[in-house]
Amino acid sequence: MTGGKSVQERYRRLKESALLREEDLYRRPVVRVGMATCGIAAGAAPVKEAFTRFIEEKGIDARVVEVGCMGHCYAEPLAIISKPGFPALCYGYLDEDLVERLVEDFLLNDDPCYEFALVALETNDVFPTFSDFPRGVHEQKIVLEHCGFIDPGDIDQYIATGGYGALAGALAGEPAAVLERVKESHLRGRGGAGFPAGLKWEAAVRAGGSEKYVICNADEGDPGAFMDRSILESCPHQVIEGMLLCAYAVGAAQGYLYIRAEYPLAVKRVQLALEQAREKGLLGTAILGTPFNCDLEIFMGSGAFVCGESSALVRSMEGLMGIPATRPPRLAESGFRGRPTVLNNVKTFAYIPPIINRGVDWFRSIGTAENPGTAVFSLVGKVSHTGLVEVPMGTTLRELIEDVGEGVPNDKAFKAAQIGGPSGGCLPEASLDIPIDFDSLQEAGAIMGSGGLVVLDEDDCMVAIARYFLEFTQQESCGKCTFCRLGTKHMLDILTAITEGRGEPEHLEILAQLAGDVKEGSLCNLGKTAPNPILTTLRYFREEYEAHIKEKRCPALMCKDLIVYYIEPSLCSKLCSVCVGSCPTEAIYTRTDGLKAIDQDKCTKCDNCLKTCPPDYNAVIKLSPPELLAEKEGKGS
């Protein structure tokens, strides 16, 4: 492209002014409050308000800035305080009292209250940084690099980190150079299947024609995965820059971000980011003064998990039901409006600017040969440090769960890692040493999927979890093809029967057959992967199915129809009646001897009494199979 020099010059001016603003900002103390959806849910809004109020009351010259999610969701609300002369420090579990103290002691006086600090952001002599913790040793951030550190509502903060520099550099050269780099990087699409992004782009280039589209799939619907939302809320510009680089490489002048309407904050922040990029001449016509034109728009998805499937997503953008289409053609040949279309996941696009900036060798030095780069997970469930993590491909599940997540809390035993959501599988303890990458996970029966990782412990029933996912896919099946519409329904019915104690010995065989047929026979990947939760639990936890079917017993004491609640008289105290008050159905009564007992006819098994019974007694227990009750009652009372 002509005028390479003037592009770079324009970008240099943008960056200079951004750096000046940043320098000016950090001349005084700055408080960055984590305000992604997770932070707000944990109470970040009143925390931010408290910082602002106390700073004003005390007449301190300091700024309060909204940032996105740092990934340490377990400790939210979180804030980073930077004060000249001190390393930037991150504080967690904030509330109004702690905020008041931090403002008084740290901002007004010079005591950083190290006892409340979680971590320092830069190396110093006093306080540990991320790399001093097991999590920091494993974590390597590419996609999440800026998330939680910059204000997503201020484009200058992204530019100050070097943002849009990859775009400027690319525009100074030929589109083919961008494509070449992405191909050489061996970046695999992060939407689930791991198809090489470069090959997808190349197909769109080859398809020819003047009208092409770039679409970012942010229709994240996996229950238990929220990284796409978090990225869009925390660093939308990195995704936008990635999309622009793709548009330049394939020759598209229009792109869309397909975002779930259930993510209102992400929609709002992306909208603002697009406006700011347009104002700076980074989006729209004559980008950075070059002949390259490209505009991006938001399309709001209306809640259909199947729209994560690319052909269904495109159909929904065309005003149709989100129903997958038969292939060929592929989207790269005939996609949105029948034109060549590149559709990639949020994370895939977010990798592009760093790859262009730092080069192919750098990217391929991270991760494994076949799976370069990092894996982003939302780590949730029975794990101490829940949150958003990014580790190099090839890290083992054990490292991820035990080091990064700090293991299973409450001295419970680990049972399984559920990876890849409804399309993924449950891997047992024995599989924990497999490296995380597309191929190894698939071999073990799970999939990388979009990166949800739910840790399950001894209290979680594997039949119930398989049933839960089947219920989800069955509800979210578009209903078009026979195998998915009816196959998932029959599989769900069988699993329901098993969890309710109506399982028959032949059910396991039928379940395995159906699962195999649905996997092979379904039209799209939603159907083809729907049986994975069943197949993996049957493979690794068959004995739990058998206990449900043969003994009508739920080993994890989770399936309501196979358990009863019982108050152990030898543990119960006459002096306490917490459980009586906590029972929403008045099923608990006081016996003549003052101890408590449960009227089984009234009990809804809501678990409230077990939760509220004071730890001194722990008198409420669950029994399975329910027949054990007669035995207990015979002995007790």
Q: Closer to another protein by CB, 18 or 343: give it.
A: 343
Question: Is 193 an interacting residue with respect to another protein (CB under 8 A)?
Answer: no
- Of 93-101, 172-180, 260-268, 368-376, the window that binds another protein (rule: CB under 8 A) is 260-268
- Of 78-86, 130-138, 183-191, 324-332, the window that binds another protein (rule: CB under 8 A) is 324-332
Q: Indicate which single residue of 249, 325, 375, 400 sits in contact with another protein (rule: CB under 8 A).
A: 325
Q: Which of 137, 29, 33, 28 is nearest to 91 (CA)?
A: 33
Q: Indicate which single residue of 211, 275, 433, 520 sits in contact with another protein (rule: CB under 8 A).
A: 520
CB of 412 to another protein, least distance (A): 12
Question: Is 413 an interacting residue with respect to another protein (CB under 8 A)?
Answer: no
Question: How far are the Cα atoms of 20, 119, 306, 369, 393 from residue 377, in angstroms, in the given order?
Answer: 35, 21, 21, 20, 11
- Of 116-124, 205-213, 225-233, 272-280, the window that binds another protein (rule: CB under 8 A) is 225-233
Question: Is 139 an interacting residue with respect to another protein (CB under 8 A)?
Answer: no
Question: Is 229 an interacting residue with respect to another protein (CB under 8 A)?
Answer: yes
**Neighbouring C-alpha atoms within 13 Å toward the C-beta of 52:** 10
Question: Is 522 an interacting residue with respect to another protein (CB under 8 A)?
Answer: yes
Furthest CA-CA distance within the chain: 93
560-599 positions binding another protein, by CB under 8 A: 582, 584-586
Q: Which phi and psi angles does 564 have, rounded to 5°?
A: -130, 155
Question: Is 386 an interacting residue with respect to another protein (CB under 8 A)?
Answer: yes
37-66 positions binding another protein, by CB under 8 A: 37-38, 40-42
Residues in the chain: 637
CB of 357 to another protein, least distance (A): 29
Residue 335 neighbours by CB under 8 Å, 6+ apart: 213, 215, 310, 314, 341, 343
Q: Indicate which single residue of 95, 122, 318, 633 sits in contact with another protein (rule: CB under 8 A).
A: 318
What does the radius of gyration of the chain's CA atoms come to, in whole angstroms? 27
Question: Is 258 an interacting residue with respect to another protein (CB under 8 A)?
Answer: no
Q: Closer to another protein by CB, 125 or 509: give it.
A: 509
Give me the helices (H) in 280-406, please. Answer: 310-317, 346-358, 360-364, 397-398
Q: Which residues pair with 345 in a beta bridge?
A: 217
194-223 positions binding another protein, by CB under 8 A: 220-223
- x/- letters, 489..508, toward another protein (CB under 8 A): xx--x------------x--
Q: Which of 383, 371, 369, 372 is nearest to 419 (CA)?
A: 383
- Of 145-153, 299-307, 398-406, 617-625, the window that binds another protein (rule: CB under 8 A) is 299-307
Residue 338 neighbours by CB under 8 Å, 6+ apart: none
Question: DSSP 3-state assignment of 263?
Answer: coil
In which residue are the tokens 């050269």 written? 173
Q: Taken in order 555, 558, 563, 565, is the CA torsion positive or negative? A: positive
Q: Indicate which single residue of 604, 618, 627, 631 sits in contact with another protein (rule: CB under 8 A).
A: 604
Q: Which of 218, 293, 283 is nearest to 253 (CA)?
A: 293
Q: Indicate which single residue of 100, 184, 262, 402 sits in contact with another protein (rule: CB under 8 A).
A: 262
Q: Closer to another protein by CB, 371 or 529: give it.
A: 529
Q: Closer to another protein by CB, 4 or 329: give it.
A: 329
Give me the helices (H) in 26-67, please. Answer: 37-41, 44-57
Q: Closer to another protein by CB, 66 or 154: give it.
A: 66
Q: Following DSSP, what letter does each residue of 61-121 receive, concatenated?
A: --EEEEE---S-GGG-S-EEEE-TTS--EEE-S--HHHHHHHIIIIIISS---GGGEEEES
Strands of 197-302, DSSP E? 213-218, 254-260, 295-301
> Torsion angle of alpha carbons 96, 100, 103, 105, nearest 10°?
-130
61-100 positions binding another protein, by CB under 8 A: 73-74, 76
Q: Indicate which single residue of 523, 538, 595, 613 sits in contact with another protein (rule: CB under 8 A).
A: 523
Q: Indicate which single residue of 331, 481, 498, 559 sits in contact with another protein (rule: CB under 8 A).
A: 481
Question: Is 521 an interacting residue with respect to another protein (CB under 8 A)?
Answer: yes
Question: Is 615 an interacting residue with respect to another protein (CB under 8 A)?
Answer: no
Q: Indicate which single residue of 64, 89, 172, 317 sits in contact with another protein (rule: CB under 8 A).
A: 317
Residue type, 398: R
